[in-house]
Amino acid sequence: MNYDLIVVGTSFASTFFLKKYLEKSPDSVKVLVLERGKFEPHAERISRAKKMALGEVGFISGTSSGAYENNNPAKPWIFDPSFGGNSNCWTGCTPRFMPSDFELKTRFGVGIDWPISYADLEPYMCEAEEIMSIAGPANTPYPMSRPYPLPPHQVTAADKLLEKRYAEYYISQPTARASKPGARNACCNSSICHLCPVSAKFTIENGLHDVYKDPRITLQFETQVLSLDVAGGLVTGVNAEQRGEQITLKGSAVALGANAIFNAHILLNSGDDNTHTGRHLSEQVGYYGYVHLDGLDNVGGSTIITANGFMLYDLPSRKDAAACLIESHNDPYVRSEHGKWRQIMKLKFVFEDIPQAGNRVTTSSDLRTPRVEYEGHSQYVNNGYTLMKSKIAEVLSPLPVEEILIDENAQASEAHILGTTRMSMSKADGVIDKHLIHHTFRNVFVLGGGSFPTISAANPTLTLSALSLWSADKIF
Ligand SMILES: Cc1cc2nc3c(=O)[nH]c(=O)nc-3n(C[C@H](O)[C@H](O)[C@H](O)COP(=O)(O)OP(=O)(O)OC[C@H]3O[C@@H](n4cnc5c(N)ncnc54)[C@H](O)[C@@H]3O)c2cc1C
C-alpha cells in the first residue's frame, strides 16, 4: 500500500492538521496514522490513577522518562507518548500570542520575525478556539475577529481589582477548561488538571476522536517512527519500529507531529543536513510569587488559573528584557497566620526566551532515542525577571498589599517543547517554510511547536494547533 499521507503522532499538531486535511480531501484518499503509544481511554486513566494512589499499581504508560537522553537532568522535558499525547495531561491554558510575538526583530531588534503575521493566522486561531470550545473574555489585549465560544471563568477577588485597573491587559484566562456544560462538563475547580476528573478540559479523546473514525484513516498503535526514506530529494515513506519489529511504510507525503524533540530527531536520523535542524530548543521560564493581602480574602475563582496579566508584556524594554505573562493561580493554598488564611494571591511570572542555537536535539547511538543538550536559558530571561522585580510593587498597587514574596528559583519546566525546526523564509534561516513544509524535503510537513522561530511568553498549544489548520488549508 502506498498511502497518500502518513501522519506521525495523534496529539494537537497531527489531529488539527488531519481534521482540515480530511475536510478538503476526496473520499478516495488513504491516510496512515502512526502512534508510538497506546490508546488509554479517560475512564481507564481515572481508574489507574485511583489504583496508583492506593499503591495497587505502578506507573503504566504515558511517561516521557527514558524516551530521550538528557545531558542536563535538572531540566526535564515532559510529554505523554500515547494516543492524544499531551492533550491528556495539559492544563488547558490558551491565551493567544500577541501580534508583536510574530515580529520581535522588527519591533524590538531581537530574535527573528516569523514568516507569517498575526493577521495571517488569526482566522485559524478562531477555528482552533471553536474546536476546543475555549472560554474567554470579551475584551483582550490582542485583536479577535470572533468572540470566544464560551463565557469567561469567574476571577478571584484580587483579580477583580486588577481587572478594574488594567481592563483588557488583565483578563479572565482564556482556557480549554469549560466554563459551562456543553460539549464537555464544566470545570470542577479541583485543580487536578493533569487528569481532569470530569473531562472538562479539551482532549483529543473528548473533542476530536471522530477524526480517527474516518474510513479514510488507518491508525496503528505502538509504532515508533525512526526515520524517513529519502530518494531524489523527496520522502518515499517512513521506517518504524512496531512492537519490536522494523518496518517500512510507503507514502506520497508525510506529516510529522511527534513534538519538537522527536520531529527533529526523525529528521536528523533521515540525513537532514540543514544546520538549524534540532537547534534552538527552547521554552518559557516561570517563577512563582505570593502576595500577602491586607484584609482581602482572595476567593471566588472558578478554575485553577483564573487570570492572565499583560502589564509587563509589550514594554519598550522588550529589546533587552523578556516579555512577562502573569498568571493568577487558584489552586488551594493558604497563609499560616490565624485569621489571614485566605488573604493571599499566588502568581506565576512566565518569561519568553530568545531561542539559543546551542540548546538542541541530536542523535544518539540508539536510533530510537534522541539526545537533548540544554545549556540553559539566556540573559534576556534574567533581564526580564530583574525588570519584573523592580516593577511589581507598582504593578500590584491596586491591591491592598502587605508583602510581596518572589521565588528566586525558576521552575524546572513549563512543560513546553519548542523551536527545533523553526519556520523561515529561506533555508539559510530555518528548517521549514511558512506553510510548515520542509525546505528540502518538499513533501514533508513538520508540525507543532518546533516550528516557532521565537516562543512568546504565552502558552503555545492554541498557536500550534492553529498552525496545523493553516498548513493543511494552504496545501489545497
Ligand atoms: C503537564 C503539562 C501541562 C501543559 N499545559 C499546557 C497549557 O496549559 N497550555 C498550553 O498551551 N500547553 C500546555 N502544555 C504543552 C502542550 O501539551 C504541548 O504544547 C502540546 O501537547 C504539543 O502538541 P504536539 O501535538 O506537538 O505534541 P505532543 O502532545 O507531545 O504529542 C506528540 C504525539 O506524537 C507521538 N509520538 C512521539 N514520537 C513519536 C514517534 N517517533 N512515532 C510515532 N508517534 C510518536 C506521541 O505519542 C504523541 O501522540 C502542557 C504540557 C504538559 C506536559
Instruction: Give Cα separations from 26 to 4, 30, 216, 411 (angstroms).
Output: 11, 10, 9, 47
Is the predicted pLDDT of residue 61 greater than 80, yes or no? no
Does the pTM surpass 0.85? The reply is yes
Q: How far is the CA of 215 from the centre of ligand 1 (A)?
A: 25
Biggest CA-to-CA distance, the chain: 73
Ligand 1 atom, smallest distance to 34 CA:
43
Q: Which three cell numbers stand for residue 363?
A: 542523535
Instruction: Give Cα separations from 97 to 133, 160, 217, 473 (angstroms).
Output: 18, 23, 32, 21
* The Cα angle at residue 318 between residues 312 and 322, in degrees rounded to 5: 70
Is the predicted pLDDT of residue 254 greater than 80, yes or no? yes
Percent of the chain's residues with pLDDT above 70: 99
Q: Whose Cα sits closest to atom 21 in ligand 1? A: 86
Is the predicted pLDDT of residue 65 greater than 80, yes or no? no
User: What is the tens place of the pLDDT at every residue in 266-285?
Assistant: 999 999 999 999 999 999 99
Q: State the average pLDDT over residues 177-194.
A: 96
* pLDDT computed for residue 54 by the predictor: 83
Strand ranges for 267-323 from DSSP E: 285-293, 305-309
259 lines ligand 1 (CB under 6 A): yes
225 lines ligand 1 (CB under 6 A): yes
Is the predicted pLDDT of residue 57 greater than 80, yes or no? no
pLDDT band at 60 (very low <50, low <70, confident <90, very high): low
User: What is the tens place of the pLDDT at every residue in 122-177?
Assistant: 999 999 999 999 999 999 999 999 999 999 999 999 999 999 999 999 999 999 99
| Eight-state DSSP code of residue 54 | T
93 lines ligand 1 (CB under 6 A): yes
Q: State the average pLDDT over residues 23-50.
A: 95
Is the predicted pLDDT of residue 443 greater than 90, yes or no? yes
How far apart CA 30 and CA 53 sit, in angstroms, is 43
Q: How many CB atoms are located within 10 Å of the residue 334 CB?
A: 10
Q: State the average pLDDT over residues 372-397.
A: 98
Q: How far is the CA of 79 from the centre of ligand 1 (A)?
A: 6
451 lines ligand 1 (CB under 6 A): no
463 Cβ neighbours under 8 A, 6+ residues apart: 96, 97, 121, 125, 449, 452, 456
367 lines ligand 1 (CB under 6 A): no
Is the predicted pLDDT of residue 63 greater than 80, yes or no? no
User: What is the tens place of the pLDDT at every residue in 322-344?
Assistant: 999 999 999 988 999 999 999 99
Q: Which three cell numbers stand for residue 369?
A: 532515542
* pLDDT computed for residue 466 by the predictor: 99
Backbone angles phi, psi at 124, to 5 degrees: -80, -30
* pLDDT computed for residue 49 by the predictor: 87
Q: State the average pLDDT over residues 412-422.
A: 96
401 lines ligand 1 (CB under 6 A): no
* The Cα angle at residue 385 between residues 384 and 388, in degrees rounded to 5: 85
**Of 6, 10, 11, 61, which is best to mutate to test ligand 1, by the most ligand atoms within 8 angstroms of its C-beta?**
11
Q: State the average pLDDT over residues 106-124.
A: 98
Residue where the block lists cell 496514522: 33
The per-residue pLDDT of the chain, averaged, comes to 96
Q: Are 354 and 51 in contact (CB under 8 A)?
A: no
Ligand 1 atom, smallest distance to 266 CA:
41
Q: Amino acid identity of 413?
A: S
62 lines ligand 1 (CB under 6 A): no
Q: Which three cell numbers stand for residue 434?
A: 511558512
Q: Which three cell numbers stand for residue 316?
A: 519598550
Q: State the average pLDDT over residues 338-352.
A: 97
Is the predicted pLDDT of residue 364 greater than 90, yes or no? yes
Going along the chain from its start, the domains and CATH numbers come out as 2-149+187-280+415-474 (3.50.50.60)
Percent of the chain's residues with pLDDT above 90: 94
Spatial CA neighbour of 345 closest among 197, 127, 157 = 157
Q: Whose Cα sits closest to atom 12 in ligand 1? A: 461
13 lines ligand 1 (CB under 6 A): yes
Q: How far is the CA of 462 from the centre of ligand 1 (A)?
A: 12
330 lines ligand 1 (CB under 6 A): no
Residue where the block lists cell 470572533: 146
224 lines ligand 1 (CB under 6 A): yes
